Amino acid sequence: MKTVWAPWRIEYITADKEEGCIFCNALADQGDLTLYKGKITMVMMNKFPYINGHLLVAPKRHISFLNQLEKEEMGDLMQTIEQSVSILKKVMNPDGFNVGLNLGKVAGAGVEEHLHFHIVPRWLGDTNALTVFADVRVIPEHIKSTYSNLKPYFNELQINI
C-alpha cells in the first residue's frame, strides 16, 4: 500500500466547524480565502477543492434559488464568472473548466442555503485511477499558495468594476 501525505489538510480536519453561512461569514469579515467582494457578487476559494484553483462565485445577497435572482444579479454573476475564468486562464493555464451549480442537497450542494457557482479548472490528466479506486485526491499546490497567486488579479478586478 502506498501512502499519500497531505499534512496541510490537518488544519481543516481539526478546525472548529464554521457556524452560519460560509458566504455571509466571508462578507462580514475578510476571510482568508475571499478573493473578491464586488457590489453584487463575491468570489472565494473552496476550502475543500476538487483541484487547485477551485473557486466559488456567489451573489452577496443570501438566496437559495435561481428564480430569486434579480436581472442585475444574474448579469453580474455571469460577468464575474467570466472574469474569474479569465484570471484562472492567465495565472494557472488550465486546459478547460467545469462551471456549474448544485441546487439542493440531493444534487450535491454542500451549502444549499446560499446559491453559488463552482469554477473548477481542469488539466489533461488531472484525474487518475487514484481518485477512482482509493477515493484519494491529490492537490499539488497548497491552497494558500494558490490564493497568493490569484489575489493580485482579483484586486485589479475590484478596481475595474
Task: Using alpha carbons, select from 145, 120, 147, 126 the residue that is nearest to residue 57.
Answer: 120
**Section 87-103 average pLDDT:** 94
- pTM attached to this predicted model: 0.78
Helix or strand (DSSP H, E) at 150:
helix 143-160
Half-sphere exposure of 14 (CA within 13 A, CB side): 5
Q: Name all domains of the chain by residue range, CATH numbers in brackets.
A: 11-160 (3.30.428.10)
- What gap in Å lies between CA 144 and CA 150, rounded to an integer? 10
- Confidence (pLDDT) at 136: 64
Q: Residue 9 is placed in which grid cell?
A: 489538510
- What gap in Å lies between CA 36 and CA 17, rounded to an integer? 23
User: Could you read off the pLDDT of 23-82 as tens digits, one per residue?
Assistant: 888 888 866 799 999 999 999 999 888 788 999 999 999 999 999 999 999 999 999 999
Considering the candidates 54, 114, 116, 118, report the single residue annotated as catalytic: 116
Is 116 tagged catalytic?
yes
Q: Residue 124 is placed in which grid cell?
A: 489533461
Task: Using alpha carbons, select from 63, 51, 70 the residue that is nearest to residue 125.
Answer: 51
